[in-house]
Structure 1
Amino acid sequence: MATSQTGPAMNEGPNPPLRRRFSNAERASLYLAADGRCSRCDAELQPGWHADHMAPYSQGGPTDVINGQALCPTCNLKKGSKPPMQLRQWQRRAVDAFYAANAENFLVSATPGAGKTKFSLHLARDLMQRGIVERVVVIAPSDNLRVQWADEASAAGISLYPVAPGDIDGYSKAGYVGCVVTYQQLLGTGQDLLRRAMRRPTFAILDEIHHAGDNKSWGDALRMAVEPAVHRLCLTGTPWRRDATSPIPFVRYDVNGTVAVDYAYEYGAAVADGVCRRIEFHAYDGEARWTDPARVRRSTIEENGKSDVSVEFTAKLGANMPEEDVSAALDTVYEPKYAWMPSILAQADAMLSEVREDVPDAAGLVVAERQWLAQGYAALLEQITGTRPPVVVSDPKADPGSRLAKQQIDQFRKGTGRWIVAVKMISEGVDIPRLAVGVYASKTQTPLFYRQVVGRFVRTRPNEEINARLLIPAVPELMRHAREIEEELRHQLEIAAQEDEKAQGEGGASTGQGMLDFRTPLSASESVFDRAILQGAEVSAEELAAAQAKAQELGIPRAYAANLVPLLRAQKTQEEVSVAAVPQQARPAEIPHYRREKLLRQEVETLARKVAYRRKIQPKDINIELLRAGHPKRAKATVAELEAMRQTLAGWMGAS
């Protein structure tokens, strides 16, 4: 006879059945913990709200407040049962490379926005299912990322506990298969607590591993803490140039003493695959005037033994000048009270308005050098837009708890506000896909920091075909970084096109200088658009203006004007050749024709990959569909046939 599972009988036997429903007391706790708002959409909870398991009950998630969340009915029904995790092509290849290496340590370098977190959690779950490991630990660089990793892991069906500072019980908390901590927490007793939690076979994920080289104590603590792990997956979204003289734990170095990456997925490949957005770099020049008594005294005393504090310095941002002058010029133009920054912010907001015509919740980010400057920019944006944007201090040294910064970032991510201002930057890994326009107002010129900022704008969302824009001072070093990034993209697109055509043919961290106390900024001119860097080429102000006029003529939003520049260049070259050519010389006309054909091939290649990405199929399957639709192989297609192919793919994009 079956016995009823109510009352005391539920506690009988060694393995009583798990309780599915939250009690009234637990529901009250979840409601209060969420401040009466839905944990997903932030809407005010109404009668009938749902108490939901974060780690699904069907997958063994406990009915406990530590595994619960308060959701509105709409969000809970949308959540539903999650389908198996679908990996992108690069993620599948990285998983295969990990198993092929069969090594304790494996370093993956993938561009921001490519999906390192999803790849890592898939691998963690696969290792657990294979019985290779029983537990998972994640070490992240910030408090904000610690919570974000725990949330992402829960969505992937892995229960990880985000250990708060001072919580000595969180490292081995019952009901979880692992934990998430920060590098900072490993100092002191944290390293021993984490090491002890690895008594069972453990997979360690070391996010943004280059942070372990920031200071020796972090690296030593990390080495001690995760040494017992069966496998250690090291992740970075930014290339760094640290060599073997300042080694980072669990990272290999080649014979030349430079870091050896086991699997790389760079920005160019991510854009070619439709995984990341393309970014336009808009450089602005301007003139700065300042005085520097300390420097004047040095120079005049050397010349005639006298001091003269009345000498002024003047420089244009785009000019080649000593680093000391670059720092002084940037200090001057970044002052909110002078004309350069107000004009830059006004132009950036106008760009954002253009983008929001197509993407209503698109947003902008200003990266400021110091907190008082950030407050000044917020005041300027309030004058421009009528709304004061939030100012986020995400530097861990300035805001160790980062609780306020996290709340501001979370609210901004879920909202529709236009602008957010951050001191230095919004932390690595913070995912705000609606960021589309940025203003670089930092003095830091290192490629590491620059690429971290660029990474804030490249994340994609479904059904969005926009280019992100980053407005930068026309300082030569920053321009060089932009060219390098665009050159990587251009090179990767060409490689992708060549590989695809071949397949068809076969049948199928420095922080920069600080402001000098005695230096006095005097004035800065309004910003002047100098040039844009897009698709590996520089675009002049005149070309961009012509493209914007053409876009308006064609009924295309101005936000897409930069995409027309290569086409207008090809048309202009063809017209010039036609006018200059004599009847006996028809050969030169083939040069612009070839350029146009090359441009079309790249555009068709990019569209095909984007359609494949949206449909979750391989690019070769799109090529087969094109052949079935009557189009020839791209390797043999004429300009007219490529244009027809582009039109077909554009139609498929709209239907995806």
Structure 2
Amino acid sequence: MLRKWQAECVSLALSKYRSGHAHFLAQATPGAGKTIMAATLAKQMFDSKEIDFVLCFSPSKAVADGIKSTFSQLLECSFNGALGETGCSMTYQSLRFVTKRFWDTLSKYKVLCIFDEIHHCGGDNELNSNSWGNQLLSDVQHAATFTLALTGTPWRSDKTPITLASYTDPKGKIVCDYRYSLAQAVQDGVCRKPKIALIDCEEVKVTESEGLRSYNTIDELLNEGDVTYALILKDQQALLHLIGEAVSRLISIQAESPNAGGLIVASSIQEANKIASILTNSYAQSSVVVSYRDTSSHEKIKEFKETHSKNWIVSVGMVSEGTDIPRLQVCCYLTKIKTELYFRQVLGRILRVTKSPNQEAWLYTFAESNMIRCAEEIETDIPDTCLYLKYECPDSQPSRVDESSKTKAFDAQLFPASIAEISFNWSDDLPASEPPNGKNTDSFESSIQLARFNQRVIEAFRGM
């Protein structure tokens, strides 16, 4: 049984295709059920003989496997791309390894191409598209009879226009063919109401060469002090407090829903291992670490999803969007990535409604200015800061996917573009860069004292 929005979207897409249009762009909030909608659309087009084949593309292997599972169930086939099959599911990274002969052969048939999380493919022409977007603009669109582009967030962090999106004016305001917001999903009972806990502290002391300085909030420290946000994310006391609050919340939820689990998004593999150690040694919580560098991460994610043997999954570049783990109900956002796009993608991991008695969804992060803004704007479908996509066409666009991308689920473009936001290189996982505005790095790590923690809780859609 389709949800109301899914049935509406399928009907509208069919109507548009049958009226002579080849492309359809749908934005539905994370957790709303885009994959089932897409699979249902494909099935109806197969039944009416409008397509012979369907190709699905997504940003990671975990998501691609989930799509394969859903499509194989609804289409009653293995959906592995073998001879005689109706389709297959692959990652965007794998596009560069597909031969031109394959696309030429495919162009002789009626093909539906489905692009999940289309914001990963920037560009609307060959001059301003990245490597994945350029592949879509050339080979894939040439072979496709119809395209279905899906996204939970119709903007990119690097402000490059989304491939296949329609624009209504020169400023690049996106127009979706169908939109299903988080507000609608909450009202329909499709998604949970998120609660965001912003952890702050009333007493911050920093010892500098000039002497001792005091601050009353984390945001004041970051704005006025010689400290970056990355240093807060490494502070032992801050981590102990925030993780402790999240653990207490998960234990409370598990009293009603024993299978509930938690997600922690970390900045680096080094930090992820540190967080896992805190969970084990300080709070007696079981956890598993997954990262884009671990070739067994997809199996670990699957085991965490299905066996319920671990309380927490600590992720580096693996569980941000599209990964379906319905048991997740608590999240700690402990990454240096401060874009609204990434924040909403991570939040979406804990919003899927299940049959469990408890349907709370909690996200914990620090009260840094960008995090505060993201939390306060969560009820806004498309925040004003992200409504327009402005861009300049560079002379050339280097490839952003290396050979290891065949197994990598990490999109480097989600990192903020400003040096100020990626200045600290705490491990080998991220490229080094100069500290912003002369701010110091490790020299002050042991000189920061955070005390008297408090939290502000933002409860979205309270009136619904």
TM-score (norm 1): 0.57
Match among 528, 537, 548 for residue 453 of structure 2 = 528
* Pairing of 1:140-179 with structure 2 (within 5 A): 140-159=58-77, 161-162=79-80, 173-179=82-88
| Conservation of the 8 A alpha-carbon contact between 2:119 and 2:156 | no
Query: Is 1:220 aligned to residue 138 of structure 2?
Result: no
Q: 1:238 maps to which residue?
A: 153
* Structure 2: distance between partners of 1:448 and 1:242: 6
1:486–1:465 CA distance, 2 compared to 1 (3 A): farther
Counterparts in 2 of 1:487 and 1:138: CA distance versus 1, 3 Å: closer
Residue 208 of structure 1 aligns with which residue? Answer: 117
Shift of 1:260: 1.7
> What is the aligned partner in structure 1 of residue 264 from structure 2?
366
CA distance in 2, matches of 1:427, 1:176: 30
Letter of the structure 1 residue corresponding to residue 185 of structure 2: A
Could you tell me which residue of structure 1 aligns to residue 307 of structure 2?
A: 415
Distance 1:113 1:469 in 2: 15
**Aligned structure 1 segments of 4 or more residues deviating by more than 6 angstroms:** 321-324
Rate the CA distance shift 1:115–1:314 in 2: closer, same or farther, 3 A. same
Report the equivalent of 2:233: 334
1:456 deviation in Å? 0.7
Name the counterpart of 1:615: none
Question: Using the alignment, how far apart are the partners of 2:213 and 2:299 within structure 1?
Answer: 43
Contact preservation (8 Å) 1:340, 1:527? no
Give 2:193's aligned amino acid. Answer: R
- 1:215-614 equivalent positions in 2, closer than 5 A: 216-227=130-141, 228-241=143-156, 246-255=160-169, 256-286=171-201, 315-320=215-220, 328-335=227-234, 338-394=236-292, 399=293, 403-416=295-308, 417-424=310-317, 426-486=319-379, 509-511=414-416, 512-515=421-424, 519-520=441-442, 521-522=445-446, 523-526=448-451, 528-535=453-460, 602=464
The alpha-carbon deviation at position 443 of structure 1 amounts to: 1.9
Letter in 1 for 2:23: N
Rate the CA distance shift 1:343–1:322 in 2: closer, same or farther, 3 A: closer
Letter in 1 for 2:299: Q
Give the counterpart letter for 2:362 in structure 1: R
* Cα drift, residue 194 of structure 1: 3.9
Residues 427 and 439 of structure 1: CA distance in aligned 2, closer, same or farther (over 3 Å): closer
SS of equivalent to 2:332: strand
Q: Which residue matches 1:119?
A: 37
Deviation at 1:318, TM superposition (A): 4.4
SS of aligned partner of 2:51: coil
Q: In 2, Cα distance between the equivalents of 1:315 and 1:192? A: 63
Residues 323 and 174 from structure 1, CA distance in 2 versus in 1: closer, same or farther, beyond 3 angstroms? farther
SS at match of 2:234: coil
CA change 1:254–1:409 in 2 (3 A) is: same
Q: Which runs of 5+ in 1 are unaligned?
A: 1-85, 163-169, 293-308, 490-508, 538-598, 603-656
Write out aligned runs for 1:40-55 (5 A): none
Q: Secondary structure at the match of 1:525?
A: strand
Which residue of structure 2 lines up, in the alignment, with residue 108 of structure 1? 26
Whether the aligned pair in 2 keeps the contact of 1:288 and 1:329 (CA below 8 Å) is no
Deviation at 1:290, TM superposition (A): 5.7
The alignment status of 1:182 with 2:75, answered yes or no, reads no
Would you say the 8 A contact 1:378–1:390 is kept in 2? yes
One-letter identity of the residue aligned with 2:280: E
Question: How far apart, CA to CA, are the structure 1 residues paired with 2:319 and 2:207?
Answer: 32
Q: Which of 48, 57, 61 is the equivalent residue of 1:139?
A: 57
DSSP 3-state at the match of 2:163: coil
Higher Cα Rg: structure 1 or 2?
1
Q: How many residues align?
A: 401
Residue deviations 1:417-468, cap 9 Å, x none? 2111112451421111111111111122111010011001001112534221
Relative distance call for 1:339 and 1:203 in structure 2 (3 A) is same
CA RMSD in angstroms comes to 2.7
2:263 and 2:332 in contact (8 A); partners too: yes
Does the 8 A contact of 2:261 with 2:327 survive in 1?
Answer: yes
- Whole-Å separation in 2 of the counterparts to 1:536 and 1:270: 11
Contact 2:53 2:111 in 1 (8 A): yes
Aligned equivalents of 1:383, 1:98: Cα separation in 2: 52
Quote the offset at 1:384 in angstroms.
3.1
Higher normalized strand content (fraction of residues)? 2
Cα distance change on mapping 1:369 and 1:360 into 2, 3 Å: same
Kept after mapping to 2: 8 A contact 1:317/1:475: no
Percent identical among aligned pairs is 29
Mark the runs of 5 or more structure 2 residues left unpaired by the alignment: 124-128, 383-413, 426-434
More contact order relative to length (CA 8 Å, sep ≥ 6): 2
Aligned to 1:20: none
Preserved CA contact (<8 Å) 1:251 1:260: yes
SS in 2 for 1:240: coil
Contact 2:157 2:339 in 1 (8 A): no
Contact 1:285/1:530, CA 8 A, preserved across alignment: yes
Distance 1:207 1:530, change over 3 A: same
**Cα distance change on mapping 1:100 and 1:291 into 2, 3 Å:** farther
Asked if the contact 1:146–1:181 (Cα under 8 Å) also holds between the matched residues in 2, the reply is yes
CA distance in 2, matches of 1:242, 1:407: 29
Contact 2:55 2:113 survives alignment (8 Å): yes
Cα pair distance change 1:473/1:339, threshold 3 Å: same
Tell me by how many angstroms 1:241 deviates: 5.0
Q: Is the partner of 2:57 in helix, strand or coil?
A: strand
One-letter amino acid of the counterpart of residue 415, structure 1: T
The 2-side partners of 1:325 and 1:312 are apart by 11
Distance 1:193-1:345 versus aligned 2 partners, 3 A rule = same
Q: Which amino acid aligns with 1:264?
A: R
Task: Give 1:199's match in structure 2, choosing from 108, 118, 136.
Answer: 108
State the secondary structure of the residue aligned to 1:280: strand
TM-score by length of 2: 0.79
Q: Distance in 2 between matches of 1:257 and 1:420?
A: 38
